[in-house]
Amino acid sequence: MSLDPERVRQVVQAALAEDIGARDATTEATVPDSARARGVLLAKQELIVAGLEVAAATFRVLDPGAAWAPDAREGDRFFPGTVLGTVSGRARALLTAERVALNFLQRLSGVATLTRRFVDAVDGTGTRIRDTRKTTPLLRFLEKHAVEAGGGVPHRSGLDTGILVKDNHVRLAGSVRQATLRALAGADGLPVEVEVEEIAQVEDAIAAGAHMLLLDNFTPDEVREAVALVKGRVPIEVSGGVRLENLRAYAEAGPDFIAVGALTHSAPAVDISLEVEPA
C-alpha cells in the first residue's frame, strides 16, 4: 500500500495551487508570519482511515519543517471524537494547507470506509472485493490505495497492465471467441480477462483461452450456474448490479471476485476536522 512520494507531492502541489491562487488573503491578514501552531485531526464519525501520507505531504509542501505525528495507520478504524494525529509548525502554513489536506483525507478515508463495508459483508465466503477504473481523473492511484486500505483487492491500474475484453470489444470483433483469440495473440504476457453477458458465452471464452471471466449483470442464480459450469478452470469475477443489499447473495454464489465501481465513484467523504491552537 505504499505510495510514490513524488507522485503524491505533484498532486498535492497542484491541489494547493488551485486552492491558494495568488495568496491566502485571510490568513496573511490575520496571522503573524512568525506564529506557530499545533493542529489535531479528529474523527467526527466512525471511519476507516486512508490518506495520512497525503495529508502530511500537504502540510510539508508549505512548511517543510512541519512535525507530523499520526496516531493511526492506513486501514485503522476510528470512532467519533478520537484523534487521528497531530501536526505542528508555522501557523500560516497549517491554516493555508488545512482544506486541501482535509479534502484528501476525507475523500480517501471515505473510499476506505465504504470498501470495508463491502469487505465485511462477504466475510467467510472466500470472495474478494475489487475496485474498477471508475475513478476520479488524476487521483486513481490515491483512490486505489484507499481501496486497499479498506481491505479490497486492486484491479488493473490502467489499460497497459492487463487485458479486459469488454462488450464493445466483442461487438467489434464479431464474437466472444474472436475477441478472446485476438486479445491472446496481442497480450504479450498480460493476463486476459473476458467479459461475458450470458451463460452461452462462458464456454466460448474458456475454449478460446481466457485466463479469467467477468460475468456482467448476472443474477446470483446465474452466477451460481456459471460457477458450476466453469468448475474452477479459470477465476470468475462478477460485476454490474451489485449493491450492499444483495452483495452477500452474489458472494455465496461462489465467484472469486466481485468488482464494485461504487467504491471509488460513489463513496461519500467522511467527516474529519482539524482543530488548530497556538503552539
Instruction: Determine the pLDDT at residue 232.
Output: 97
Please write the tens of the pLDDT for every residue from 245-264.
999 999 999 999 999 999 99
Do both 133 and 177 map to the same domain? Answer: yes
216 catalytic? Reply is: yes
Predicted local confidence at residue 76, as pLDDT: 97
The active-site residue out of 99, 128, 140, 224 is: 99
Whether 150 and 249 map to the same domain: the answer is: yes
> Per the residue annotation, which of 134, 140, 224, 248 is the catalytic one?
134
Quick one: pLDDT at residue 182?
98
Segment 33-59, tens digit of pLDDT: 999 999 999 999 999 999 999 999 999
pLDDT tens-place string over residues 157-178:
999 999 999 999 999 999 999 9
Which domain covers residue 225, as residue numbers? 120-265
> Is the domain of 114 the same as that of 135?
no
231 in catalytic set: no
Q: How many domains does the chain have?
A: 2
What is the torsional sign of CA 249, 250, 256, 259? negative
Same domain, 130 and 66: no
Asked if 127 and 257 sit in the same domain, the reply is yes
% of the chain at pLDDT higher than 90: 99
Regarding pTM above 0.85, the answer is yes
In a shared domain, residues 134 and 230: yes
Average pLDDT, integer, range 224-242: 97
- Per-residue pLDDT for 4 more than 80? yes
Residue 122 confidence class, pLDDT cut points 50, 70, 90: very high
Which member of 44, 166, 224, 248 is catalytic? 166
State yes or no: is 44 an active-site residue.
no
Q: What is the pLDDT of residue 37?
A: 98
User: pLDDT at position 245, please?
Assistant: 96
- Residue 221 pLDDT class (50, 70, 90 cuts): very high
The pLDDT of residue 1 is above 90: no
Exactly one of 53, 195, 237, 256 is catalytic; which is it? Answer: 195
**2 pLDDT above the threshold of 90:** no
* 166: annotated active-site residue: yes
Annotation says 195 is catalytic: yes
Active-site residue, from 24, 143, 193, 216:
216
Query: Do 254 and 271 share a domain, yes or no?
Result: no
